[in-house]
A and B are shown apart, each in its own frame.
Chain A
Amino acid sequence: MTSKRSLTPYLQVTPLALVLLVFFIVPIALVLIVSFFRYQMLVGLTPDFTFDNYLDVLTNPTTWRLYFSTVKFTLIVLALTFVIGFWIAYFLVFHIRNLLVSIGLFLVCTVPFWTSNIIRMISWRPILGKEGLINQALLDSGVVAHPLTWLLYSDFSVVIAYVHLNTMFMIVPIFNSMARIDRALLEVAVDAGATRWEAVWNIVLPLSKTGIALGALFVVTLVMGDFFVVSVMSGGLSGSATTGMFNDLQFLNYPRAAANAVILLIVVLLIAAGIFRLVDVRKELVR
């Protein structure tokens, strides 16, 4: 029994481990190796062991500017999605009495996510554009004399699109964490004279921190790794940490793209490790 018991977790993780081995570790190892190669346009790759690609990326002030802009977007989007995600999940879990209604409302939130991201980005244009719905309404009502141009092709529209596209990734884990909270705890707290706010702050927030941490990780991953949203919604006027990578790939400079990818991977992994330092998502798991 004991030997069978100790084998079980290994068997249980084997499929996951195999997929990760074949479709992540091997390809990313290739990427890592290539990041030390040399590249000459129109000739190709030369196996080598050079740090030039990394130096190239790191000594370029553009890289830093792009990372700064990406981190800025990440933080703004993180804050917005957290506030929205937390209260939406709270509403669905603690205020909806019927489980089926709660699931139904939850699904209503997810339906737009099944329409392609690209279509959903494009669909903001008739709303935010110079001749879009918002500007028309503002002009007609006389609030503004000239159409607002900062609504579209600006940092504002980028943030709007990110929040629009990524909030679900915050709601879902928080929802799942909250659903596990024993309601009796809240009851006891309120009976003991705690205000509703104190109950949320002292009970709900700490008990859903696993979900918050995971949602934060998802949002950070999605925004830091994004290239299309920022490029489409800023009208090409802003870039992201991935822009450089995409430009390198356009003319097959795999070594520099690989070096760029490795740097981005390390940066985001560090952020992830930071999140897990604050909230050990595995601690509550292990018996």
Chain B
Amino acid sequence: MKTSSGRRPWTFYALAAFFALFVLFLYGPMISVLVLAFQGPSGALDFPLRNPSLIWFAELAHPKGTGDVIGAFNRSLPLALIVMVLSVLMSVTAGFAFRRRFHGATLLFYTAVASLIAPGLVLSIGILVMFRFLDLPAAWYSSALGAHLSWALPFGLLIMFAVLGRLNPSYEEAAYDLGASRWRTVRDVVLPIVFPGIIAVALFGFTLSYDEFPRTWLTAGTKNTLPLEIWTMTTNVTSPALYALGTVTTIFSFLLIGLALGSILVIQRRRSAQR
């Protein structure tokens, strides 16, 4: 941080402008989502906005036509959260394993990479056929969960590679030498260093599962997950209810992030106050 203290170099302003452009690009289409969510009853998915109203938010809560968005959300959210937690636990531990040599490391590594790149539609069928063979019912919490893990885990594992790659083992050794227990070493030395990585794995795990279509296509069982439901909604009269959903998701995400950052800020303040 020292180099960047003092007067900011011109590159800062150039990159800040680039960053702003990128955010504009990311949110540009979101603006059409945010605005058109307030379409009136005869409104289309395109501009112009006609007779602004809240009816599409009401439609979300009490669906009249196709699209059980709330029901699908109630399956997709827990599924994404479970995938998130499991991929953090499994890929972080596995990531640490890869810091040592063990038999089968290369095989496991390439299996994970293969699992990441296997075509989702076909893997979906493979898992479905396996479940049918074992006479197990396909459901979001069994077959779809497994299907999601089969690619969220490799993502998480590889992210851990980027994080652990430059974690200097001498830090841990120093802690051991100072008589720290194994657990304490992990808690006080390793965890703070890998924490941003864990956040990244969690983010990926959640996003990949929450948005996954091909792998869920046939493994979801009787009830659809959110992406499936949205896809099938586009096979019927699509209404701005889709945009209402996007708006609600975005606002909810911002609240969540604000809450998380706020609490971190409070914790930091409290800690520095203690010192």
Contacts and interface: CB of A to CB of B under 8 A. Distances in A.
Contacts, number: 316
A125 B238 CA distance: 14
A87 B200 CA distance: 18
Nearest to A200: B11
Given A108-B23, A264-B119, A94 B153 contact: no
Given A181-B166, A245-B119, A27 B127 contact: yes
A33 to B, nearest CB: 10
Contacts of B159: 172-173, 176, 214
A67 interface: no
B138 interface: no
Interface string A211-247: 1001001101100110110000000000000100110
A254 interface: yes
A66 interface: no
Given A116-B211, A133-B47, A224-B117, A95 B18 contact: no
A16 B157 CA distance: 9
Most chain B CB inside 10 Å of its own CB: which residue of A6, A109, A113, A214:
A113
Given A107-B257, A196-B9, A214 B158 contact: yes
Nearest to B133: A30
Nearest to A283: B165
B249 A115 contact: yes
Contacts of A105: 19
A183 B117 contact: no
Contact size range, B: 35 or more
B162 A173 contact: yes
A120 B29 contact: yes
Contact of A113 (B8, B146, B207, B245): B207
A107 B23 CA distance: 11
Interface string B235-258: 000100011011001100110010
Interface in A62-90: 84, 87-88, 90
B94 A15 contact: yes
Contact of A20 (B28, B112, B117): B112
A102 B116 CA distance: 29
Nearest to A31: B126
Interface in A106-133: 107-120, 122-127, 129, 131-133
B119 A12 contact: no
B2 A123 contact: no
B189 interface: no
B125 A111 contact: no
A77 B147 CA distance: 26
A144 interface: no
A87 B253 CA distance: 25
Interface string B195-232: 01101100110110011011000000000001100110
Contact of B108 (A16, A131, A175, A228): A16
A165 to B, nearest CB: 9
Contact of B165 (A10, A31, A284): A284
Contact of A13 (B108, B110, B155): B108
A25 interface: yes
Nearest to A275: B113
Interface string B56-99: 00000000000000000000000000000000011101101111
Contacts of A111: 250, 253-254, 257
Nearest to B233: A118
Interface of A: 6, 8-10, 12-13, 15-17, 19-20, 22-28, 30-31, 84, 87-88, 90-92, 94-95, 97, 100, 103-105, 107-120, 122-127, 129, 131-133, 136, 164, 167-169, 172-173, 175-177, 179-181, 183, 186-187, 190, 196, 207, 210-211, 214, 217-218, 220-221, 224-225, 227-228, 242, 245-246, 249, 254, 257-258, 260-261, 264-265, 268-269, 272, 281-282, 284-287
Given A16-B91, A91-B18, A265-B117, 19 more contacts: A10-B102, A13-B93, A15-B94, A19-B153, A20-B112, A20-B115, A23-B127, A23-B146, A30-B126, A97-B4, A113-B211, A117-B213, A118-B230, A118-B234, A119-B243, A127-B28, A176-B200, A272-B117, A285-B165
13 contacts: A9-B102, A12-B97, A15-B94, A23-B146, A87-B15, A95-B4, A109-B23, A116-B226, A119-B246, A176-B162, A180-B165, A217-B116, A286-B98
Interface of B: 1-5, 8-9, 11-12, 15-16, 18-19, 22-23, 25-30, 32-33, 36, 45-47, 89-91, 93-94, 96-102, 105, 108-123, 125-127, 129-130, 146-147, 149-150, 153, 155, 157-159, 161-167, 169, 196-197, 199-200, 203-204, 206-207, 210-211, 213-214, 226-227, 230-231, 234, 238, 242-243, 245-246, 249-250, 253-254, 257, 261, 264-265, 268
